[in-house]
Amino acid sequence: MQGLEVPQPGSKSWLLDASPWYKAMRATAPVFHDPRSGTWHVFLYSDVERVLTQFSTFSSQFGYEAEEGGSPSITGSGSMITTDPPLHTKLRKIVAGSFSPTSIVAIEPRIKEIAGQFLSNVDALVKQGKVVDFISEFSDPLPVTVIAEMLGIPTEDRKKFKEWSDVQIGSEDMDYESRRNSSTELAKYLSKIIEERKKDPKQDLISSIVTSEIDGEKLTLQEAISFCILLLVAGNETTTNLLGSAIRLFAKYTDSMKQLHDKPSTIPVAIEEILRFASPVRGMFRVSVRDSEISAQKIPSGESLIAWIGSANRDETKFVDADKFEIGRTPNPHIAFGHGIHLCLGAPLARLESKVALQLLADRYSGVKLKVAEDKLVPMRNFVIGGVKHLPVEFVPN
């Protein structure tokens, strides 16, 4: 990876836009082994799709556990992210019904209500001629409030929950001890609610988790906490960053919001192009469990890989004018939500939240302008999940 005249992984420019690096790697080293980390990097659409799909060769089962004396995490025991079938299938079934398209559509009125509440604050700032931080005013609180309600957690705790979520994905600049303390705090909070639901189940996701059985046994407390943490993170980070990317793109492609205002029916198609062009999740990790070969590169058993979803979605061999943002692009076979058995459980929720948000925004505003240069934005310092911490904008009323 060294020597390429493009922003390198981890740099601010790369965190804001990794696509030049993806493009260079697809052209020069589409399957690359980094001797420093020992990780294989996979960039082409066909190869990324294969790594994400063939779980019997490229496993999600890393076997991560909480450290001794530590706290469960998103990759800990009981997490769908780090299991393969048959356990993955059984874990997914516990909450799959709550995330089915039918179930998600049923909560659309409530999502509209929540989004309207946060947009009223945005509207007030716009009327006062003030700059709006789109992240803190809207795209942060909307999805975390929704997932908090689905889990069965008091809405007043959403701000703290968002802080915990950001710590879990490593986007906050904290030392090890502070990060550990935050994870412990979250685990204790969830433990208390889990114990309450065991005694008095309700119609919420935590109740589903603690009352369900796998092969005749209920999840342990640690497994239940890890499950809740996964849903917390997956249920809000993707939508937050998807909406943030939408606004950044609308500011760059200045007629985009006007198009959505004039023809709201095109919003779902626009969302798919935002997902492709600025994938909220850059990549997913896997481990090879048998000797294999990817694009003529031999991958020994036991090696770690990262399948770069963001690169696959810009692959010129799969998408015409792949580096062009086409708000009405169709067909659009992107894999922003993954592929195969690990296709993101919360994809229908993220799509609905984004559709509701963009419909309400396009109804009110015909454009948006960034109030700082793109290179002055502060990115989340996360290798896998892309987004910015703040997004100061000025909305143009219809």
Reading the chain (398 residues) residue by residue, the pLDDT tens digits are 544 589 999 999 999 999 999 999 999 999 999 999 999 999 999 999 999 999 999 998 864 443 334 444 444 445 677 788 877 788 888 888 888 888 889 999 999 999 999 999 999 999 999 999 999 999 999 998 999 999 998 778 877 877 887 777 665 566 778 878 888 898 999 999 999 999 999 999 999 999 988 888 888 888 888 888 888 877 788 899 999 999 999 999 999 999 999 999 999 999 999 999 999 999 999 999 999 999 999 999 999 999 999 999 999 999 999 999 999 999 999 999 998 888 888 899 999 999 999 999 999 999 999 999 999 999 988 889 899 999 999 999 88
Query: What integer pLDDT is reported at residue 275 of this predicted model?
Result: 98
Q: What phi, psi does 257 have (nearest 5°)?
A: -65, -35
In a domain, 2, yes or no: no
In a domain, 271, yes or no: yes
Cα dist from 394 to 119, 123, 146, 248, 258, whole Å: 14, 11, 26, 12, 15
> For 215-258, how does the pLDDT look when each residue is reduced to its tens digit (9 = 90+)?
888 888 888 888 888 888 777 888 999 999 999 999 999 999 99
Q: Which domain holds residue 216?
A: 12-397
In a domain, 4, yes or no: no
In a domain, 179, yes or no: yes
Query: What integer pLDDT is reported at residue 371 of this predicted model?
Result: 97
Q: What phi, psi does 295 have (nearest 5°)?
A: 45, 50
DSSP-assigned letters across all residues of 49-69:
HHHHH-TTTEE------PPTT
Which amino acid is present at 382? N
In a domain, 3, yes or no: no
Tokens coding 343: 């296709």
How far is it, in rounded angstroms, from Cα 87 to Cα 261?
A: 45
How far is it, in rounded angstroms, from Cα 272 to Cα 261?
A: 17
Q: How many independent structural domains does the chain possess?
A: 1
How far is it, in rounded angstroms, from Cα 77 to Cα 72?
A: 7
Listed in sequence order, the residues at least 6 apart from 373 whose beta carbon sits closer than 8 Å to its beta carbon are none
Listed in sequence order, the residues at least 6 apart from 368 whose beta carbon sits closer than 8 Å to its beta carbon are 247, 250, 251, 257, 393, 394, 395, 396
In a domain, 6, yes or no: no
How far is it, in rounded angstroms, from Cα 346 to Cα 350?
A: 6
Which stretches of the chain are DSSP H helices?
Answer: 12-16, 19-28, 45-53, 87-96, 101-106, 108-127, 134, 141-151, 158-168, 176-199, 205-211, 221-234, 237-252, 256-262, 267-277, 309-312, 347-364
In CATH, what number is assigned to the domain containing residue 340?
1.10.630.10
How far is it, in rounded angstroms, from Cα 212 to Cα 197?
A: 12
Q: Are 397 and 365 in contact (CB under 8 A)?
A: yes
Query: What integer pLDDT is reported at residue 323 of this predicted model?
Result: 97
> For 89-133, how does the pLDDT look when each residue is reduced to its tens digit (9 = 90+)?
888 888 888 888 888 899 999 999 999 999 999 999 999 999 999
In a domain, 5, yes or no: no
How far is it, in rounded angstroms, from Cα 17 to Cα 222?
A: 36
Tell me the pairing of strands 39-42 and 304-308: parallel
Q: How big is the CA angle at 338 (ends 333 and 340), to the nearest 5 degrees?
A: 90
pTM for the predicted model, two decimal places:
0.91
Query: What integer pLDDT is reported at residue 5 of this predicted model?
Result: 83
